[in-house]
Amino acid sequence: MSALTCPSEGIVPAYVRAKGEIRARFAATAGRTRLMQAYEHGGLRLRCPHVASGCEAVLINTGGGMAGGDHASYSFIAEAKADLTVTTQSAEKIYRSQGATTQVGVTLQIGAEAGLEWLPQETILFDQALLSRRLDASLETDSSLTLMESVVFGRLARSETVHHGIFRDRWRVKRNGHLIFAEDVRLSGPIASILDRRACGNGARMVATLLHVAPDAESKLEVARAALQDSSAEAGASAWNGMLLVRLISPSPEHVRASIVSLLAALRRRSAPRVWQ
């Protein structure tokens, strides 16, 4: 019986699956953004190395990846006037499942005049991985939010292919309590074959989405397009209703990552997070 047709979530006992959680609150104080409260559970850790401006919070998964039935929960609060970037130490790996779904939940809350960037490095899906991910964010009229998520379908350097699997990604963004952006992505079954279709991915093995919400987000459309002009990845950008949205896709993960780095540098006016180097 294949992993995708396993009838229950109990093939691997729940008690051997990893469950991790991070909750953290950041505030602007004495001219800097500082970590005020933090909670860590399971194999997830949070570190805040010194940076020249703002605050970088680096997520670390001490387990080295996630498998079927693992759960990870992240919750971050950026209080008024805080300047926070959340990223990951390395790419997150989602390994094959024996039937249970890997679940990741992210909750972001941004206060007045605060800025929060959610910039994890890429997620790598292995063959027969089952991933369900949800992101919920809320911000104020004068705060800003940048979301960047990228997914690699198989490690090309090792000739790996995601023949079968499930990838679900759900985003909900609210401004002043009103829903302004909602997106649901689902790839199920023969993922590589689906992505090979011209109308779906045209052979893509990495996809990425950037959403920037801010009072001046629409004015950055031409900046984003200029940054992507020489991109080797296929890319498109649009802006409306105080939001900037960018999509990238390519058969080459290296091309997408290089384009992301250039795009972030142009939009942020500073380089990508240090752990990306």
Q: What is the pLDDT of residues 44-55, one digit of tens each?
A: 999 999 888 889
Q: Tell me the two tokens of residue 251.
A: 């058969």
pLDDT given at position 50: 87
pLDDT given at position 53: 82
- What digits encode the pLDDT tens for the residues 66-93? 999 999 999 999 999 999 999 999 999 9
Once rounded to an integer, what is the mean pLDDT over residues 169-190? Answer: 97
Please give the radius of gyration of the chain, using alpha carbons only, rounded to the nearest integer: 18
Distance, in Å, from the CA atom of 71 to the CA atom of 196, rounded to the nearest integer, reads: 30
Distances from the Cα of 80 to the Cα of 33, 115, 141, 168, 243, angstroms: 10, 9, 12, 32, 20
Mean residue pLDDT across the chain = 93
